[in-house]
Amino acid sequence: MKEFDAIVIGAGQAGVPLAKKLADAGWRTALIEKRLVGGTCINDGCTPTKAMVASARMAYLAANSKVLGIDIPAYEVNFKVVMARKSAIVTQFREGSLAGIEKTKNLTLIYGEAKFQDDHTVYVNANDGTFENYTAKHIFINTGASPRIPDIEGIKAIKYLTSTTILGLKEVPEHLLIVGGGYIGLEFGQMFRRFGSGITILEQSSQLMPKEDNDVCEVMSRIFKEDGIDVLTDAKVLKFETLANDKIKVTIDLKGKSTTVTCSHVLIASGRNPQTAALGLENTAVECDSHGFIEVNEFLETKASHVYALGDVKGGPAFTHISYNDYIVVTKNILEGSKMSIKDRMIPYCMFTDPQLGRIGMTETQAKEKGIDYLVAKIPMKNVARAIETAETRGFMKAVVDKKSKQILGATIIGEQGGEIMSVLQMAMMGKITYEEIRFAIFAHPLYAESLNNLFMSIA
């Protein structure tokens, strides 16, 4: 039995900074990782996909350069170079994270799979074939989530892709069918369309991104149609079959009628499951919900004394920045005696389609459901000077404001640099700046942000 002050399970975007912070504070800390340092974000998520999105955007710009008076008669997608660049960036980020761990005093990195024996003891089946029990007064779980594979007839007989395995493709798919019209499916769909794939996206709901306002879904659907992507809503997959030519036949219930689509590849992007099944939580007081996500209070404490859960494994918004903020909450509370809470914190996010979708705070639908007396400010990007000048006129700016207090309740930006524009409004919300103050503020011309003046002038 080896004793530590703290054990951190999972070297993701909360686990690594948390382990380093505790070790720097003098805690003897063990960081246990079964696979790769950096978690989903660096290895299978944000870092590789955004590198690939950059390549896909360059292809889009080359294909649409004539409108700017630049004639590019032909271009070629060198997929091997795209993937090699992606992999090099992932390696750079991962090795940087690993170097930070290795130079931290009081921190021991252990590669292996962890399983709880009780609330304070973890058994590790190490990757080098050794076995050991570790104990600590504080244990932190940051094991993340993995792609959810639905139980569909024939799925085990096809070579389907996930958001992880698609990153290992050697060639651009001829026709990629994507099951799931969420953020992962949409980003991959547009990306591979620009690389040259035919794309079909299947979404069970009546619209893409069902948690967004209707106007957001309508605009994104129109953008995808313009990009030559076939989006089928009210679509449920019934069966997969492999054909003699290695193509895949997909039987679909489409708005109550049976139809089929033939494709070369299938990407399953229908959600993610928490990685809790192998943790041995049944040996502890830690409780999970019906989907396997660890239940925590507003301070990220589980039902087991001094056991915490951070990041995707606890459910809620599955974003890297939320995982990182979880780390801040825990360290502030444990090391500084604060009472920092995850309750009611702002949740910004950006979907890296092109144009981007950036959102913060409350949607119009949510404001309506809460019975708030609200106003909506909205302008199309085709009326934004910077967007016209750069030929990036798809999308819109939208904000929901409280009629009485004039505070901004939420915003959605679909546009080039949509996430950056959204962040300006997030800062305004954090600083309690009213929409009228933004309406009459001076912004540098001709930034996208300057059109925030015009956005709030749209309120009668």
| Structural contact between residues 17 and 101, judged by C-beta atoms closer than 8 angstroms | no
Contact 271, 180 (CB under 8 A): yes
Residue 389 CB-density burial (10 A; 0-12 exposed, 13-18 middle, 19+ buried): exposed
Single out the catalytic residue among 120, 175, 306, 445: 445
% of the chain beyond a pLDDT of 70: 100
Cis peptide before 274 (omega within 30 of 0): no
- Backbone angles phi and psi of 386, in degrees to 5: -60, -40
Q: What angle do CA 142, 145, 146 make, to 5 degrees?
A: 145
Q: List CB contacts of 269: < 8 A, sequence separation 6 or more.
A: 147, 162, 163, 178, 179, 180, 182, 184, 185, 188
- pLDDT tier at 87 (50, 70, 90 boundaries)? very high
Digit-coded pLDDT (tens) for 33-48: 999 999 999 999 999 9
pLDDT attached to residue 305: 87
* Res 118 pLDDT > 90: yes
Domains parsed from the chain with CATH numbers? 2-146+273-336 (3.50.50.60), 155-270 (3.50.50.60), 355-457 (3.30.390.30)
Query: Can you give the C-alpha Rg of the chain in angstroms?
Result: 24
Distance (Å, whole) CA 130 – CA 126? 5
Q: What is the DSSP letter of 74?
A: -
pLDDT at 119: 95
pLDDT band at 158 (very low <50, low <70, confident <90, very high): very high
Whether 445 is catalytic is yes
- Say which residue the tokens 């900074």 belong to: 17
- pLDDT score at 1: 79
Predicted confidence at residue 244, as pLDDT, reads 87
pLDDT digits (tens, 9 = 90+) for 216-260: 999 999 999 999 999 999 999 999 999 988 999 999 999 999 999
Distance, CA of 347 to chain centre? 12
Instruction: Write out pLDDT tens, residues 292-313.
Output: 999 999 999 999 989 999 999 9
340, two tokens: 């920092």
pLDDT tens-digit profile of 379-416?
999 999 999 999 999 999 999 999 999 999 999 999 99
Q: Cα 48 from chain centroid?
A: 12
| pLDDT over 90 at 210, yes or no | no
Residue 17's pLDDT band (cuts 50, 70, 90): very high
Please check whether residue 400 is in contact with residue 410, taking contact to mean a CB–CB distance below 8 angstroms: yes
Residues annotated in a binding site for NAD(+): 180-187, 203, 271
pLDDT of residue 200: 98
Annotated binding site: 50, 180-187, 203, 271, 312
Q: Is the pLDDT of residue 456 over 80?
A: yes
Residues 6+ apart with CB under 8 A from 81: none
Residue owning tokens 């590019």: 72
Q: Which residues are annotated as a binding site for FAD?
A: 50, 312
Query: Which residues is 125 bridged to in the sheet?
Result: 113, 131
pLDDT at 460 over 80: no
Widest Cα–Cα separation across the chain: 70
